[in-house]
């Protein structure tokens, strides 16, 4: 372990104690930076304690759910820390949600309170009109936000009207909120290991989103797992966090874990994603660690100025949340001069379970690396029998970071776990003799055509090798003779005239005839979830 590293000692109880220990050691160091302000670790610790006190004083009690409907901004991080300290399970909701989606999460999570911001008030007002319950509404003060008045006039007027309609329970400026009857020590509520700390929601790619019950033990386990694979140099580590904080990877892996390490997090809003801005930020701030989804890496490698920016400060670059085509990985590594690792994890596992960097024999292209410490894994066939190396099977995982269950869904919780406590991921994988795992596909996405099994990811990797293919997704479509056939949805490079015949011929050079897409449809863009995963259900329904 390198000097400057900090290894937290709180291994039971409230997960927020882990961060407070870090802040004691790293107090004056930069913790959180946005383009409008900076926070030290001591400021995050102390202000989150004050917010926890304010939440208590306004009637919220331990185990009350707190829905965070906020963009990627410091107040979300502060409120999440405050909620942990106050014993309030927090449930982040994606700011891109429609009012209908927000209503679902508020109702399903049993939210006692909602924290939001002025720009989202029109959606909040509409949601509250449809909601049967009456949660407390807490408005984040935007007085320190220099961009708050930069939106168009119509949007500003809508927000003002919504403000008049809602009638807030309370509003405060997170920089100045103070106690009255409570002091700082009384805001850290005792929590048992199995108490719920966080209730994120699954992305809903295969059905309705489900509330995932992550405990204080789960969050602590993810905190310590962050120390396992990489050298720790807290005084030199700078993370660019651009994934949605409403997503498990954005909050836990790209924000919570770096803060626990005592590192600096440069927080950006994914709704303002721009590959050139990201590359410029990496160069200017000398970012050392960066994590993104496949779509973002596709944008970077296809940008005309990729290669002009100095990305040499990068030490760890990861992809997670979707498949990473090897062609994109190789192009990024060749030009940027840094290895791009795949990582794997689920909302139900509280973040990562596998990662390429730090594996025993170094990185292996096309794999998600080896399991993290304390993660038990096995691959099983349809009968639940473990399969040997080289064969495909459903990936099962077990460990202290795996969820307690689904909120108020006992049947689905029982179905998700085996009798010996393994969580069924629903993902098909294979492993080699060295325990490196390769993610093959989602079980629900596997195509069976004329008795042959086809994994869409393999075909998509082939499509990505075509120079005129910017994005692609493969699904199975009904076929009277073969049961299913393979269909590809393709986004062409701007100005390209490549046609379906040439795409099919290109694939036939790379995959067996039964695997090639018999139908190719060109689209402007692929339907994606708020977490950038392809909505294959929509593609199948559209056939």
Alpha-carbon distances of 116 from 21, 73, 84, 93, 334, rounded to whole Å: 29, 11, 18, 10, 42
DSSP 8-state secondary structure symbol assigned to residue 348:
G
Least confident residue range of 207-221, 248-262, 317-331, 457-471? 317-331
Q: What three-state secondary structure class fits 28? A: coil
Mean pLDDT of 276-287: 97
pLDDT at residue 539, rounded to an integer: 87
**What is d(CA 503, CA 493) in angstroms, rounded to the nearest whole number?**
13
What's residue 172's pLDDT?
Answer: 56
pLDDT tens profile 167-206 = 555 555 565 555 444 455 567 999 999 999 999 998 765 5
pLDDT at 176: 58
Reported as a pLDDT band with limits 50, 70 and 90, residue 163 is very low
CATH number of 531's domain:
3.30.300.30
Residue with tokens 């689920």, as numbered in its chain: 346
Instruction: Report which of 37, 54, 60, 47 is spatially closest to residue 16, judged by C-alpha positions.
Output: 47
Structural domain of residue 106, as residue ranges?
Answer: 43-215
% of the chain exceeding 70 in pLDDT? 86
In a domain, 58, yes or no: yes
pLDDT for the residue 144: 46
Q: Please tell me which residue, 5 or 132, carries the higher pLDDT value.
A: 132
Residue 209: what pLDDT? 86
Q: Would you say 328 and 464 are in contact if contact means Cβ atoms under 8 Å apart? A: yes
List of residues 6+ apart from 221 with CB closer than 8 A: 350, 374, 399, 400, 401
Number of domains in the chain: 2
pLDDT for 57 beyond 80? yes
Answer yes or no: is 311 within a domain.
no
What is the pLDDT at residue 181? 46
Task: Please indicate whether residue 346 or residue 538 has the higher confidence score (pLDDT).
Answer: 346
Instruction: Count Cα neighbours of 363 within 13 Å in the Cβ-side half-sphere.
Output: 18
Q: Look at residue 484 and tell me if it is in a domain.
A: yes
Distances (CA, A) of 231 to 4, 227, 289, 356, 394: 10, 8, 12, 14, 32
Determine, yes or no, domain membership for 467.
yes
Range from 305-319, 447-461, 467-481, 507-521 carrying the lowest mean pLDDT: 447-461
* Token digits of residue 310: 């100095």
Last residue of a domain, one of 166, 197, 215: 215
Q: What is the pTM of this model?
A: 0.82
Provide the 10 A C-beta neighbour count for residue 122: 19
Q: What kind and span of H or E run contains 470?
A: strand 469-479
pLDDT given for residue 407 in this prediction: 97
The mean pLDDT of 304-318, rounded to a whole number, is 95
Q: What pLDDT is recorded for position 4?
A: 38
What tens digit of pLDDT does each residue of 230-276 get? 655 667 899 999 998 998 999 999 999 999 989 999 999 998 999 99
DSSP codes of every residue in 273-325: --HHHHHHHHHHHT--EEEE-HHHHHHHHTSTTTTTS--TT--EEEE-SS---
Half-sphere exposure of 11 (CA within 13 A, CB side): 5
DSSP string covering 500-521, please?
HHHHHHHHHTTS-GGGS-SEEE
- For residue 512, being part of any structural domain is answered with yes
Residue at 11 is within a domain: no
Candidate ranges 87-91, 129-133, 368-372; pick with highest mean pLDDT = 87-91
pLDDT at res. 356: 83
Cα 279 to Cα 317: distance, rounded to the nearest angstrom: 13
CATH of the domain at 203: 3.40.50.980
How many other CB atoms are there within 10 angstroms of residue 194's CB atom? Answer: 11
Q: Dihedral sign, CA of 471, 474, 475, 480? A: positive
Listed range (6-10, 168-172, 220-224, 257-261) with the worst mean pLDDT: 6-10
Compute the mean pLDDT over every residue in the chain, rounded to the nearest whole number: 86
215, 232, 254 — which closes off a domain? 215
**How confident is the model at residue 34, as a pLDDT?**
93
388 inside domain: no
* 226 pLDDT higher than 80: no
**Span 151-161, mean pLDDT?**
46
pLDDT value of residue 207: 59
pLDDT at 190 (0 to 100): 93
Residue (of 433, 430, 434, 440) closest to 391 by Cα position: 430
- What pLDDT score does 168 carry? 52
Provide the pairing of β-strand 289-292 with 238-241: parallel
> Is there a domain that residue 203 lies in?
yes
Q: Which of 181, 215, 249 is the last residue of a domain?
A: 215
Whole-angstrom distance, CA of residue 455 vs CA of residue 461: 11
């Amino acid at each position: 372990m390198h000097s400057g590293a900090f290894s937290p000692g709180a291994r039971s109880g409230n997960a927020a104690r882990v961060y407070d220990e870090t802040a004691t050691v790293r107090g004056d160091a930069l913790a959180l930076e946005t383009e409008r302000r900076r926070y030290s670790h001591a400021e995050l610790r102390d202000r989150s304690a004050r917010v926890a006190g304010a939440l208590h004083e306004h009637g919220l009690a331990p185990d009350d759910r707190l829905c965070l409907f906020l963009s990627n901004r410091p107040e979300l991080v502060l409120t999440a820390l405050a909620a942990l300290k106050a014993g309030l399970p927090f449930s982040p909701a994606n700011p891109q949600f429609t009012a209908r989606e927000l209503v679902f999460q508020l109702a399903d999570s049993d939210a006692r309170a909602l924290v939001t911001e002025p720009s989202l008030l029109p959606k909040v007002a509409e949601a509250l009109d449809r909601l049967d319950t009456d949660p407390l509404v807490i408005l984040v003060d935007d007085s320190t936000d220099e961009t708050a008045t930069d939106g168009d006039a119509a949007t500003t007027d809508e927000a003002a009207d919504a403000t008049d309609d809602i009638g807030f329970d309370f509003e405060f400026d997170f920089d100045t909120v103070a106690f009255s009857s409570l002091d700082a020590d009384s805001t850290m509520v005792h929590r048992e290991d199995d108490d719920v700390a966080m209730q994120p929601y699954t992305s809903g790619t295969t059905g309705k989103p489900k509330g995932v019950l992550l405990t204080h033990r789960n969050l602590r386990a993810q905190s310590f797992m962050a120390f396992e694979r990489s050298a720790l140099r807290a005084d030199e580590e700078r993370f660019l966090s651009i994934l949605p904080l409403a997503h498990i990877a954005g909050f836990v892996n790209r924000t919570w874990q770096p803060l626990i390490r005592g590192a600096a997090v440069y927080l950006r809003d994914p709704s303002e994603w721009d590959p050139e801005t990201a590359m410029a930020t990496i160069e200017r701030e000398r970012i050392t660690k960066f994590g993104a989804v496949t779509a973002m890496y596709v944008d970077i490698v296809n940008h005309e100025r990729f290669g002009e920016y100095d990305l040499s400060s990068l030490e760890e670059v990861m992809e997670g949340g979707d498949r990473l085509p090897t062609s994109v990985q190789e192009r990024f590594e060749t030009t940027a001069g840094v290895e791009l690792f795949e990582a794997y994890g689920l909302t139900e596992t509280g973040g990562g379970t596998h990662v390429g960097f730090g594996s025993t024999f170094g990185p292996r292209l096309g794999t998600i690396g080896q399991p993290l410490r304390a993660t038990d894994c096995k691959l099983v066939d349809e009968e639940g029998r473990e399969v040997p190396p080289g064969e495909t099977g459903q990936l099962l995982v077990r460990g202290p970071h795996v969820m307690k269950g689904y909120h108020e869904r006992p049947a689905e919780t029982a179905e998700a776990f085996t009798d010996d406590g393994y969580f069924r991921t629903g993902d098909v994988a294979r492993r080699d003799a060295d325990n490196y795992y390769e993610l093959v596909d989602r079980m629900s996405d596997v195509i069976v055509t004329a008795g042959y099994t086809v994994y869409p990811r393999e075909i998509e990797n082939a499509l990505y090798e075509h120079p005129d293919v910017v994005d692609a997704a493969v699904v199975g479509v009904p076929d009277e003779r073969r049961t299913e056939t393979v269909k590809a949805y393709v986004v062409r490079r701007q100005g390209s005239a490549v046609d379906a015949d040439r795409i099919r011929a290109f694939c036939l050079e790379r995959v067996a005839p039964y695997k090639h897409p018999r139908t190719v449809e060109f689209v402007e863009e692929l339907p994606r979830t708020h977490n950038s995963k392809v909505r294959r259900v929509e593609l199948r329904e559209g056939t």
